[in-house]
């Protein structure tokens, strides 16, 4: 596989469930990102990891818990979500971190519905 | 606080026309600006990235310009094709990464 992959592509979960989203990049990049895209709102950056270390957390509620075991894999652990958390969750990667000349490459996203 | 605005929100043009999409931002202290396209229900595809020290970037039929002092970027698409139909997003990388809401482009065959 090439590029950035995300699994699952669709997820329906109840508010009391615990689930995880997975992202894998095959580009040899060092930085990875989680974004949330809600209907009629701009894309929002949630977390940034650079060389496995978290470098940004943009005031994301603790019911979202990221994990980056290595530069190729990124997880988003979900628990006790609310219906307003329903959205498209996008993962991205880049060669280097933010604020440079590095383009971000996105995965296809996970469509999450919280019931 | 950075605000990014994309006007128009939607645009329909006949195939073959040249067109310009606009992105404006309120804080000129940015590191770079990136243009993306997003097809319905899909992830984003990077089109062009302009660093703060650059004035423009070109890739094929696409040309993006950046004027930091006026807080504006434009994406020029030459000889538009039906396959160009998508939502075009700009993202400004400054203190935070802020995206615009996008311009939904429809090219009429």
Q: Which tokens belong to B52?
A: 């703060």
Task: Give the residue with greater pLDDT, B95 vs B41.
Answer: B95
Cα(B19)–Cα(B86) distance, integer angstroms: 14
Distance between B100 CA and the closest CA of chain A, angstroms: 6
Distance between A71 CA and the closest CA of chain B, angstroms: 20
Pair type for strands B44-51 and B56-59: unpaired
pLDDT tens-place string over residues A91-102 = 999 998 888 789
Residue A68 near residue A32 (C-beta atoms within 8 A): yes
Q: Which residues of A touch B32 (CB under 8 A)?
A: 99-101
Residue A2 is predicted with a pLDDT of 65
Question: At residue B76, does pLDDT exceed 70?
Answer: yes
Q: Which residues of B touch A109 (CB under 8 A)?
A: 42-43
DSSP string, B15-82: TT--EEEEEEES----SEEEEEEE-TTS-EEEEEEEETT-SEEEETTEEEEEETTTTEEEEEE-S--G
Question: At residue B4, does pLDDT exceed 70?
Answer: yes
Cα(A112)–Cα(B20) distance, integer angstroms: 34
Distance between A14 CA and the closest CA of chain B, angstroms: 22
**Do the chains contact at B91 and A43, CB–CB below 8 Å?**
yes
Beta bridge partners, B37, equal B45, B88
Cα(A106)–Cα(A94) distance, integer angstroms: 9
Q: Which residues of A touch B100 (CB under 8 A)?
A: 42
Cα(A97)–Cα(B14) distance, integer angstroms: 39
Q: Which residues of B touch A99 (CB under 8 A)?
A: 31-32, 93
Residue A108 near residue B56 (C-beta atoms within 8 A): no
- Listed as ranges, residues in chain A with pLDDT below 50 are none
Nearest Cα to B34, choosing from B44, B19, B42, B20? B44
Residue B61 is predicted with a pLDDT of 98
**Do the chains contact at A98 and B101, CB–CB below 8 Å?**
no
Mean per-residue pLDDT of chain B: 96
Count of beta carbons in the 10 Å neighbourhood of residue B24: 18
| Mean pLDDT value of segment B52-72 | 96
Using only the alpha carbons of chain A, give its radius of gyration.
13
CA A50 to chain centre: 14
Cα(B35)–Cα(B57) distance, integer angstroms: 11
Beta bridge partners, B22, equal B7, B74
**Do the chains contact at B44 and A106, CB–CB below 8 Å?**
yes
């Amino acid at each position: 596989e090439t590029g950035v992959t995300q699994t699952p592509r669709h997820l329906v979960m109840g508010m009391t469930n615990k689930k995880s989203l997975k992202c894998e990049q095959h580009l040899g990049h060092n930085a990875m990102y989680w974004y949330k895209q809600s209907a009629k709102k701009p894309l929002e950056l949630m977390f940034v990891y650079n060389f496995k270390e978290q470098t940004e957390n943009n005031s994301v509620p603790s019911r979202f818990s990221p994990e980056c075991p290595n530069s190729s894999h990124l997880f988003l652990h979900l628990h006790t979500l609310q219906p307003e958390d329903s959205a498209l969750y996008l993962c991205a990667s880049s060669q280097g971190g933010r604020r440079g000349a590095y383009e971000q490459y996105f995965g296809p996203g996970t469509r999450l519905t919280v019931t | 606080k950075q605000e990014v605005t994309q006007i128009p929100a939607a645009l329909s043009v006949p195939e073959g026309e040249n067109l310009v999409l606009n992105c404006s931002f309120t804080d000129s202290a940015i590191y770079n600006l990136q243009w993306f396209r997003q097809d319905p229900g899909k992830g984003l595809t990077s089109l062009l990235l302009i660093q703060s020290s650059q004035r423009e970037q070109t890739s094929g039929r696409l040309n993006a310009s950046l004027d930091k002092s006026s807080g504006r970027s434009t994406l020029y698409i030459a000889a538009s094709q039906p396959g160009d139909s998508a939502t075009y997003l700009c993202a400004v990388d400054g203190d935070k990464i802020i995206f615009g809401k996008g311009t939904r482009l429809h090219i009429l065959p």
